Amino acid sequence: MAAEEKLKLVTIVTEAVLEAGITTTLKKLGATGYTITDARGSGSRGVRDAGWSSSGNVRIEVICNPEVAEKITTHMREHFYENYAMIIFIADVGVLRPGKF
Amino acid sequence: MAAEEKLKLVTIVTEAVLEAGITTTLKKLGATGYTITDARGSGSRGVRDAGWSSSGNVRIEVICNPEVAEKITTHMREHFYENYAMIIFIADVGVLRPGKF
Amino acid sequence: MAAEEKLKLVTIVTEAVLEAGITTTLKKLGATGYTITDARGSGSRGVRDAGWSSSGNVRIEVICNPEVAEKITTHMREHFYENYAMIIFIADVGVLRPGKF
Amino acid sequence: MDPVIWFFVLGLVAGLARSDLRIPPAIYDLLSMLLLLTIGLKGGVELARSPVGGILPQMLAVLALGFTIPLLLFPVVRVTGRLGRPDAASLAAHYGSVSVATYAVGVSYLGVRAVTFDSQLPVFLVLLEIPAIIVGILLARGMHPGTRWGALAHEILFGKSIVLLVGGLAIGWAAGADGMRSLEPLFFDLFKGVLALFLLEMGLIAASQARSLRQHGLFLLVFGVVAPVPLATLGAVLGWSIGLSPGGTALLAVLSGSASYIAAPAAMRIAVPDANPSLSLTASLGITFPFNIFVGIPLYHQLAEFLHR
Amino acid sequence: MDPVIWFFVLGLVAGLARSDLRIPPAIYDLLSMLLLLTIGLKGGVELARSPVGGILPQMLAVLALGFTIPLLLFPVVRVTGRLGRPDAASLAAHYGSVSVATYAVGVSYLGVRAVTFDSQLPVFLVLLEIPAIIVGILLARGMHPGTRWGALAHEILFGKSIVLLVGGLAIGWAAGADGMRSLEPLFFDLFKGVLALFLLEMGLIAASQARSLRQHGLFLLVFGVVAPVPLATLGAVLGWSIGLSPGGTALLAVLSGSASYIAAPAAMRIAVPDANPSLSLTASLGITFPFNIFVGIPLYHQLAEFLHR
Amino acid sequence: MDPVIWFFVLGLVAGLARSDLRIPPAIYDLLSMLLLLTIGLKGGVELARSPVGGILPQMLAVLALGFTIPLLLFPVVRVTGRLGRPDAASLAAHYGSVSVATYAVGVSYLGVRAVTFDSQLPVFLVLLEIPAIIVGILLARGMHPGTRWGALAHEILFGKSIVLLVGGLAIGWAAGADGMRSLEPLFFDLFKGVLALFLLEMGLIAASQARSLRQHGLFLLVFGVVAPVPLATLGAVLGWSIGLSPGGTALLAVLSGSASYIAAPAAMRIAVPDANPSLSLTASLGITFPFNIFVGIPLYHQLAEFLHR
Ligand SMILES: Nc1ncnc2c1ncn2[C@@H]1O[C@H](COP(=O)(O)O)[C@@H](O)[C@H]1O
Ligand SMILES: Nc1ncnc2c1ncn2[C@@H]1O[C@H](COP(=O)(O)O)[C@@H](O)[C@H]1O
Ligand SMILES: Nc1ncnc2c1ncn2[C@@H]1O[C@H](COP(=O)(O)O)[C@@H](O)[C@H]1O
Ligand code: NA
Ligand code: NA
Ligand code: NA
């Protein structure tokens, strides 16, 4: 896979109510895009079972270079960690179409 | 990302009917939380198209340390591999908030 | 995890309308299975918000050996990159049940 | 023929033709919820209107039927189908339990012919759903220590279908015909339409069973068509002997001749993991369900009329 | 008792018994959308039929009520509940705003008793939803520079509940009784049935609040049961003094005695992140909502009748 | 004005104001399924009631119309819009095919005015949906070897809209007016309400097209408003010449003046990947659809009346 290029996959799992705000922020921080799936789960802030609209989570994936990844995690930590149900994990991924991200 | 810490991301894809049982087990095995999304798919046990409630899959993600990951995979292999549609894959991920998981 | 074996996790995010076609192709290219979740997102081809049936994305995951992964990415690049909203990223994962994939 | 049945055919054809017609799971849940509530509410209203004397002995008789059927079926399928213990037990549980959709089609069938039936039938529907599942599990694993009976009992007793049926019965009974007046437009007037859409979905699902049918071959096909008749006869005879009306007798026959495809599969998948789920589901949903709505129900109705000559 | 309330009980019981009964989010959205549109459309038709003279002063009075309630509650809960600023402000906002489902149950309650009410009540419902949220945010953060008031105003004003209520009002008003005739089967005839299903879901949600109730302990329980009464009285007195009919007075009491669990939680979660969301939600949805539909509404109706002696 | 249209306006406004009002995809599917089935069932019942003599020549004429329109449009849009082959072909396919929602609004419009129409119109709806798509694909790729016609034919013929329309027609025809009686509450009485909710969603979707409209600029706007009129006239003249009633003539005009936004986009996306999907969709759904329901339908009705003078 010659054309493959190493990038970061940043995955954010958090409260559905934050979706709109976060996606706007992501663009500002330099992400070229994002992918969202609806999710439910459990963690330090208890069970979030999507039993009704607002009680669910969203799972936001962003593929970006390490700098943007750094920016995103920092921003999330500063603005949301304290008061919202949220986790972030980062993985190394290879993508095609270098320069797209 | 100074605060980043290496952990395991265990992803289990299996029959929706097992969700309740597995989530309870995960806590017992030491997972601090989990994230679930509804899924469909195909594998050695045929197509599972979520055409109706019970014919779908769930995709369960758990972030944990290698020991817990080991425990989870072992438990799943022993209890579910033989009789249920299930796959498990493990990836290395970095997370913020060391000690949360 | 003795039984763990290194494989590739290929994730394709693309237009929902392509689901049927792609899943058929995957089998042809040697994938033993796949997992699909409905998704929405944004990228170079604009926002795809799943507001209604056909305007959404699907997120297709395939676990396979590097050769098949290579085949898949090549095929997708040749057939879909030019005209469809699509991204592909590849990660290394460990799985149990060697030989299943 | 009752038009709702054509919707099943439509779904079946669309499914077999691999049409992209889908009914979202959320809608499937809404439709089944409405069916269960309607059946319960209707029954409750009837019970309130004409309180049934000596219903308890009848209930015991019906419970007995629920425990008996799987015990009768188990040996038969083991031998004739050469099935392993788990598969045989699971199949027995499916056919011992009941299908709400088949019952609904039966009600609709009698309605079209203006045949009335006893108000306690919905109660029997509830009573017949569970026992066979318990027997099936016992047959599969014996008194296996590992079995978490508590959890299982809870799961079965508070399964959505039981909750909605019993809840509906209670509410209908408490509210009575007058109290229900304002709820009729949704729960009663739309009944046939909701049933039609549900059958459309059932057709799609039945079609998706076709492939697995090929695998399991002839036995399933024969069993799915043959088994319902003696079972229904058993139900009819019981209904007649406990003094149900012809309509009630027919519906009890429909119940015992029908096979579960919601409660039983879910419970068996958990409690008897080594049973092949597609085997029982294909038989009950892919063969017996269509057989009953097309051939069985009219047949059982004849039978009931005949017994009541 | 109004049968729809039994559906809440059913949901509550199923939830507490940890039944697997679930109502898919998509269905929840459909039901709430239908409720909001129906309330709006009904109101619009009424307004068209009997245009209200001098409604403006009344609207101002109601707006004032919306701004006042949270200001009264804030100090009380800070002291009695020993709550921090954010939690106290959030709770005040929830109880200052209104619950559409409680209003719907009130309408249904009056309907059963053939009590008419003034056509402008749905307008008051809209007016009462927002002010308390704004006050609550101000109480929590003061004139904090960071607050993105523009975004917030937009989010609240074009929130789905407001859009559907106002849209329904406008359409109902434009179409009038005759124009609405063809829409009645869905929006009017099914109203009670839709409300019943919605209350079933509310019961399930309320049950899921039970655990968090244990955490927050006694204060919430007491507050949730005690607070509605004086608030409703305030509404009743206002309704009576601005010359509403007994029915209208009762409904205004219901509105001001009810607590929001849709608009307020969403807005507060964004604007006052450091408020514990489960605290306010448990009080409004887990305690006050049931209290109002069982005890409150009949009580407030008595009160209204009494004032109008 | 027909109140259902106000729901489109409401959705449009909410969408443009970026309200958080959403209709879950599952509900969208339910609504469109109900619309398609209702139209089919209604048509089937009518066909059963008044069997149409010599319908076959009419059907051939309508099929011909379906094949002709895209052939006429293609060169026009290539030149006037300076569009590439794929985009021009796709646009031609969209406008050659039909919009079920526009048809439904037309039916509702005639209903309000108690104008009857010929029972074969739903059949024409089915006939007009497909040909233009085939022509469009041919125009775009010629007899390109790569085209998997089999797969395409299957996908179009067994697409959900065709299946539900044809299925509804068959069931309605088989059941007849009496057989359908029990299904009327869901499929006929709720029709207007379901259409209203569907239009609400259409408004939201149309609003989401606004942005892409800006990109494609003036041509789309003009084309979307101008094109329907001659196309509808073509349909009206044909309807009149094959001897349809004034109502039927109006509806055939509505059909040929309407543009597809379900079948055509899906098929084109697969078969003509290099066509820009948002271009055709914006024109058909963002411009022509609103134009037709506000201006077109009344206009085409006038036209039909005029022809029948
Ligand atoms: N250990 C974990 N593994 C996977 N997902 C988690 C984990 N912990 C939390 N989550 C997800 O992140 C959401 C918020 O986490 P928390 O802030 O800990 O409540 C939860 O609702 C879960 O969906
Ligand atoms: N090679 C694969 N790649 C991705 N997902 C898979 C793969 N194989 C199986 N799955 C998923 O795991 C589920 C159970 O797999 P199986 O037990 O092989 O039937 C399937 O329904 C798929 O959702
Ligand atoms: N940087 C990104 N990170 C995550 N997902 C993305 C990214 N870019 C695009 N996507 C997803 O891939 C889909 C197609 O991307 P595109 O072809 O760039 O429009 C989008 O709708 C997103 O769901
Ligand atoms: Na049975
Ligand atoms: Na209030
Ligand atoms: Na057309």
Q: Judge whether residue E143 has pLDDT over 80.
A: no
Q: Which amino acid is at F245?
A: S
Phi, psi of D81 (to 5 degrees): -95, -5
Tokens of D151: 């959890």
Instruction: Indicate the top mutation candidate among B11, B36, B58, B87 to test ligand 2's pocket, ranked by most ligand atoms within 8 A of CB.
Output: B87
For every residue of B55-88, which 3-state class applies, written as one string? Answer: HCEEEEEEEECHHHHHHHHHHHHHHCCCCCCEEE
The pLDDT score that the predictor gives to residue B2 is: 42
* Cβ-proximal residues to F254 (8 Å cutoff; 6+ apart), any chain: F102, F103, F106, F232, F235, F292, F296, F297, F300
Whether A86 lines ligand 1, by a CB cut-off of 6 Å, is yes
Compute the distance from residue D271 Cα to the ligand 5 centre, in Å: 49
Secondary structure letter of residue E118 according to DSSP: -
| pLDDT for the residue A78 | 92
Q: What is the CA(A32)–ligand 3 centre distance, in A? A: 8
Apex E160 CA angle, E155 and E162, nearest 5: 85
Euclidean distance between CA atoms E175 and F32, whole angstroms: 24
Q: Predicted confidence band at E150 (pLDDT cuts at 50, 70, 90)?
A: confident
Task: Calculate how close chain D gets to B49, using CA atoms only, in Å.
Answer: 10
Min distance F25 CA to chain C CA atoms (Å): 5
Query: Cα B10 vs. chain centroid, distance in angstroms?
Result: 5
Rounded CA gap, A66 and F71, in Å?
Answer: 53
DSSP, res F51:
P
User: Are D301 and D249 in contact, with CB atoms under 8 Å apart?
Assistant: no
CA distance E166 to E172: 10
| Whether E99 contacts E126, CB under 8 Å | no
- The ligand 2 atom nearest the CA atom of B48: 21
Q: Measuring CA to CA, which residue among C90, E76, E235 is closest to residue A92?
A: C90
Cβ-contact E266, E202 below 8 angstroms:
no
Q: Residue E19: is its pLDDT beyond 60?
A: yes
Q: Which of D185-189, D207-211, E109-113, F29-33 has the lowest mean pLDDT?
A: D207-211
Say if residues C7 and C65 touch (Cβ distance below 8 Å): yes
Instruction: Report which DSSP code applies to D181.
Output: G
Q: Which residue of B has its CA nearest to D262?
A: B54
pLDDT tens readout for residues D153-180: 887 789 888 999 999 999 999 999 999 9
Pocket around ligand 3 at a 6 A CB cut-off: A 31-35, 61-63, 101; C 13, 41-45, 48, 57, 85-87
Q: Between residues D3 and F74, which one has the greater pLDDT? A: F74
Give the pLDDT of residue D212.
73
E41: Cα within 13 Å, side-chain hemisphere? 28
User: Ligand 6 centre from F96 Cα, in Å?
Assistant: 4
User: Is beta strand A46-48 parallel, antiparallel or unpaired with respect to A34-43?
Assistant: antiparallel
A1-15, A52-66, E65-79: segment of lowest average pLDDT: A1-15
B15-48: per-residue pLDDT in tens?
Answer: 999 999 999 999 999 999 999 999 999 999 988 9
Give, in degrees to the nearest 5, the angle at Cα F192 between F188 and F193: 105
Cβ neighbors of F227 (< 8 A, separation 6 or more) are: F73, F95, F288
Decide: helix, strand or coil at residue A35.
strand
Could you tell me the CA-to-CA distances from D32 to B66, C85, D26, D262 in Å, in that order?
44, 37, 10, 10
> Over the stretch F10-42, which tens digit does the pLDDT of each residue have?
999 999 999 989 999 999 999 999 999 999 999
Q: Is E111 left (phi over 0), alpha (psi -120 to 50) or beta?
A: alpha
- What's the pLDDT at F212? 73
Rounded percentage of chain A residues whose pLDDT exceeds 70: 90
State residue D192's pLDDT score: 94
pLDDT of residue C86 exceeding 90 = yes
- Rounded Cα distance between E158 and E167, Å, is 11
Distance CA C75, CA F241 (A): 53
What is the maximum alpha-carbon separation in chain F?
55
Confidence of residue B3 (pLDDT cuts 50, 70, 90): very low
Residues on chain D touching E18 (C-beta within 8 angstroms): 154, 158
Do residues C8 and C91 lie in contact, with contact meaning Cβ atoms separated by under 8 Å?
Answer: yes
Inter-chain residue contact B41 with C35, CB threshold 8 Å:
yes
Option in E25, E163, E179 nearest F3 (CB): E179
Three-state DSSP at F33 gives helix
**CA distance linking residue E243 with residue E236, whole number of Å:** 11
Cα–Cα distance, B40 to C60 (Å, whole number): 10
Whole-angstrom CA distances from B26 to A59, B12, B33, D272 are: 20, 11, 8, 22
Calpha distance E159→F255 (Å, rounded): 36
pLDDT at C7: 94
pLDDT for the residue A3 = 47
Calculate the average pLDDT of chain D. Answer: 92
On whether any CB of chain D is under 8 Å from the CB of F187, the answer is: yes
Over the Cα atoms of chain B, what is R_g? 14
CB atoms within 10 A of CB E3: 22
- In whole angstroms, what is the distance from residue F25 CA to residue E27 CA? 11
| pLDDT score at E39 | 93
Neighbours of F37 (CB within 10 A): 26
Measured between alpha carbons, how far is A89 from B95 in angstroms, rounded to an integer? 5
Contact F167, F250 (CB under 8 A): no
Q: Can you name the residues that pair with C40 across neighbouring β-strands?
A: A36
Give the DSSP H or E segment for E181: none
CB atoms within 10 A of CB E138: 18
Q: Is D201 in contact with B49 (Cβ distance < 8 A)? A: no
Chain B residues in contact with A7 by the CB 8 A cut-off are none
- Going by C-alpha positions, the residue among D202, E187, D112, D35 that lies closest to residue F182 is D112
Are C94 and B89 in contact by the 8 Å Cβ rule? The answer is yes
Q: Which of residues 92-131 of E touch D (CB under 8 A)?
A: 108, 111-112
Which tokens hold the place of F203? 């408004």
C-alpha D288 chain-centroid distance: 11
pLDDT band, very low/low/confident/very high, at D148 (cuts 50, 70, 90): confident
Distance (Å, whole) CA F113 – CA F111: 5
> Is E223 in contact with E35 (CB distance < 8 Å)?
no
Ligand 1 neighbour A30 (Cβ under 6 A): no
A92 touches chain C (CB under 8 A): yes
**Residue D32: which of D219, D162, D221, D218 has the closest Cα?**
D162
Q: What is the mean pLDDT of residues E148-152?
A: 77
Quote the percentage of chain F above a pLDDT of 90: 75
Helix (H) or strand (E) holding C98: none
Give me the pLDDT at residue C15, please. Answer: 94
| Phi then psi dihedrals of residue B14, to 5 deg | -155, -175
Beta bridge mates, B47:
B42
CB of A74 closer than 6 angstroms to any ligand 1 atom: no
Answering whether pTM is above 0.95, one says no
Q: Is residue F52 within 8 angstroms of chain D, CB to CB? A: no
The per-residue pLDDT for F290 is 96
| Count of C-beta atoms within a 10 Å radius of residue A46 | 13
Check pLDDT > 80 for residue E5.
yes
Per-residue confidence band for F238, with pLDDT thresholds at 50, 70 and 90: very high
Q: Which of B52, B76, B80 to mutate to test the interface with D (most CBs of D within 10 A)?
A: B52
How far is the C-alpha of D29 from the C-alpha of D18, rounded, in Å? 23
Q: Of the candidates B39, B44, B69, which has its C-beta nearest C36's C-beta?
A: B39
For residues E282 and E150, the model is more confident at E282
With H, G, I as helix, E, B as strand and everything else as coil, classify residue B11: strand
Q: Is the pLDDT of residue F54 over 80?
A: no
pLDDT digits (tens, 9 = 90+) for F152-210: 788 778 988 899 999 999 999 999 999 999 999 999 999 999 999 999 999 998 898 87
In the predicted model, what is the mean pLDDT of residues D38-42? Answer: 94
Give the gap in angstroms from C-alpha C22 to the nearest C-alpha of chain A: 18
Residue B47 CB-density burial (10 A; 0-12 exposed, 13-18 middle, 19+ buried): middle
Alpha helices in D142-245 (DSSP H): 149-157, 160-180, 184, 191-226, 228-241
Please report, for residues D65, F9, F73, F151, the alpha-carbon distance to residue F12 in angstroms, rounded to integers and kept in the order given: 59, 5, 28, 36
The overall average pLDDT reported for chain E is: 92
Contact yes or no for D203/D10 (Cβ under 8 A): yes
Tell me the per-residue pLDDT of E32-54, one tens digit each, with 9 for 90 and over: 999 999 999 999 998 888 776 67
**Lowest pLDDT segment from C73-82, E36-45, E129-138, F142-151:** F142-151
Inform me whether the pLDDT recorded for C2 exceeds 70.
Answer: no
Burial of residue F102 (CB within 10 Å: 0-12, 13-18, 19+) is buried
Q: Which of A23, A35, A97 is nearest residue C81 as measured by Cβ atoms? A: A97
Closest listed residue to residue B19, CA positions, set C95, D273, A40, A44: A40
F25 touches chain D (CB under 8 A): yes
Interval between CA F229 and ligand 1 midpoint (Å) = 57
- When the pLDDT of each residue in chain F is averaged and rounded to a whole number, the result is 92
